[in-house]
Chain A
């Protein structure tokens, strides 16, 4: 199964699931000749058809590729993508988002900026570690002051810390 087939199957399953969820929606009334489910059903139907078309086109392309002689392999000169670092970034960001309502903006941002910097480029000396800490502190303080004091935007307070 190709990459497009996987994407198509996910979209097909999601659109059919949502299409089923429109069954209980109210019907049309005297003022509006179509109910709130009318447009979603069209959109979800179109999405399902497109997802199916993507799967079919992927299957046809795969067949064509297997029928034709194998193309010469292109030289893999570029470095392999660093998916580990991407996953680590997502995890750190998820933890940051999860911590925001409990720990508050100031503490969680301080830790997040320091943690992500250290993950992306681990400090190799005390000087570099100090730069990471200062960057995290300055980022947190500057954003907090700019938004709370000057732009009148309230940033999240922590339920646990009240800070």
Chain B
């Protein structure tokens, strides 16, 4: 295992891989630092640039975006009090007060180094657990895979949004998208509605780009705002120089806090759809509960910054475990990565670790090296990044929309994919307005074909449908699916009783 990892690091250290990884990390850090631009949006913008690259180059760039984006949010969170990404929300609680009392450099670098160490802990977990989990998943038959995908879908439906019915409906709409076009077993045309480009089915990447990009862009356009002036003023006045030895020592003097909050991030990363923001807030909460001075939280205590930033970067490692071992994207960013893999003809899932071990260990290596590059990028350009937040949305939005169009068109050089982008862009925005969560739809689109294939395979092997329940792993997974829906219903009722007039938003994707 470690020989393969070393070989992966040697591969990644070559210029042909290091440059895309560096560029991805840089773009990720900038995208993360820009308030209103999420990591999902950044990776969607980067996606079309990876089409012409070889698989490891493309995936290295995307891994860089993910790592850089998860850390980039802390720049504006600490210096402006505005989280650049949702996963940096908890960083503002103590980062901004610390910066305001004149310790901006310390606040920023505590976050950067905590992200680095949290990310490395995530790397150890990623390398150590992906292989064994994939080996375990290799024992799965079609019954277990079917139940696993249903579990993932029901969990996402239950965790995102304010209503379990809406979550499940969103997932079902995603599955409906996959039944259009040729059926995956017999190849018969179905539900094409006489539309030519539907005959080959709907590619999931234009759906994903349309739904997420438009939902966010149009929501931003609705309530246009700019943090530019504040950013410009802060960029000119703050002092970011700091003793790195002191900052690193400050973090490493709290090993239990670092390990525990990174573990929380990892665990939440492994579970689909909960996301970096929940990881960061939960880790912050844990750090506060375990602290001898909980009253200091919110006033600029270093523990708060360490907890939030170590957990959100460890979260990335956890999400990569899920996609590489089971082929299930843990969040929207890994969903785009899954799409990039599909474009290059790579099937993620349990066989990926054995059939594409060079690529798998290349991704592990890219993940680890990206953290080193992230620190380097911050060291060279933290002040510049703050200045970049002045770029107005009126300039960014048209460029992002052009890149979304190119990203969809270049998939197979047909306009049909651009029409799908437009259609699902409108649907995504409408779903936001109707308060229907987007994550279950995307997971439904990604898993739909696999759910059908495994269901039919299981029935072809044995017509006894009770096997889905009586086979131990499958039965447990289906039981967990039911439990996740019941728990979500219970939470929803409890929430409504406590806040009869409140609209809730619990998770991000």
Give A residues with C-beta under 8 Å from B: 3-4, 6-8, 11, 14-15, 18, 21-22, 25-26, 29, 31-40, 43-44, 46-47, 50-51, 53-54, 57, 68, 71, 74, 78-79, 81-83, 85-86, 89-90, 93-94, 96-97, 100-101, 109, 112-113, 116-117, 120-121, 135-136, 139, 143, 146-147, 150-156
Contact = CB atoms under 8 A, between A and B. Distances in A.
B495 to A, nearest CB: 14
Interface of B: 48-49, 51-53, 163, 165-166, 168-169, 172-173, 175-176, 179, 183, 185-186, 188, 190-191, 193, 217-218, 221-224, 392-395, 397-399, 401-403, 405-406, 409-410, 413, 415, 418-419, 421-422, 425-426, 429, 434-436, 452, 455-456, 459-460, 463, 500-501
B190 A47 contact: no
Contact of B52 (A4, A26, A57, A153): A153
A97 B405 CA distance: 8
Contacts of B418: 97, 100
Contact of A34 (B53, B419, B456): B456
Given A71-B500, A117-B394, A117-B398, 14 more contacts: A3-B434, A4-B163, A7-B436, A25-B190, A31-B460, A33-B463, A43-B175, A53-B165, A86-B221, A89-B217, A93-B401, A151-B49, A154-B410, A154-B413
Name B's interface SS: helix
A53 B190 CA distance: 27
Contacts of B51: 151, 153
A13 B100 CA distance: 55
A153 B406 contact: yes
A81 B52 contact: no
Nearest to A123: B394
A43 B172 contact: yes
11 contacts: A4-B435, A7-B434, A33-B459, A36-B188, A46-B172, A47-B175, A78-B223, A89-B397, A93-B422, A97-B422, A116-B398
B172 A47 contact: yes
Contacts of B398: 112-113, 116-117, 120, 136, 139
Contacts of B185: 32, 36
B397 A120 contact: yes
Contacts of B501: 71, 74
Contacts of A21: 191, 193
B415 A50 contact: no
A34 B458 CA distance: 11
A143 B190 contact: no
Contacts of B52: 147, 150-153
A146 B53 CA distance: 12
Given A36-B186, A97-B405, A139-B402, A89 B218 contact: yes
Nearest to B185: A32
B437 to A, nearest CB: 12
Nearest to B413: A154
B432 to A, nearest CB: 11
A44 B176 contact: yes
A156 B426 contact: no
A53 B167 CA distance: 12
Given A4-B434, A79-B223, A93-B401, A40 B190 contact: yes
A85 B222 contact: yes
A86 B500 CA distance: 31
A7 B173 CA distance: 12
B191 A11 contact: no
Contact of A143 (B163, B186, B191, B403): B403
A19 B346 CA distance: 33
Contacts of B434: 3-4, 6-7
A143 B402 contact: yes
A73 B30 CA distance: 40
Nearest to A41: B179
A153 B179 CA distance: 29
B50 to A, nearest CB: 9
B366 to A, nearest CB: 19
B218 A86 contact: yes
Given A21-B191, A81-B222, A113-B402, A155 B409 contact: yes
A3 B421 CA distance: 25
A57 B165 contact: yes
B455 A39 contact: yes
Given A97-B419, A109-B402, A143-B402, A11 B409 contact: no
A39 B395 contact: no
Contacts of B422: 93-94, 97
Given A47-B173, A71-B500, A89-B218, A22 B402 contact: no
B468 to A, nearest CB: 13
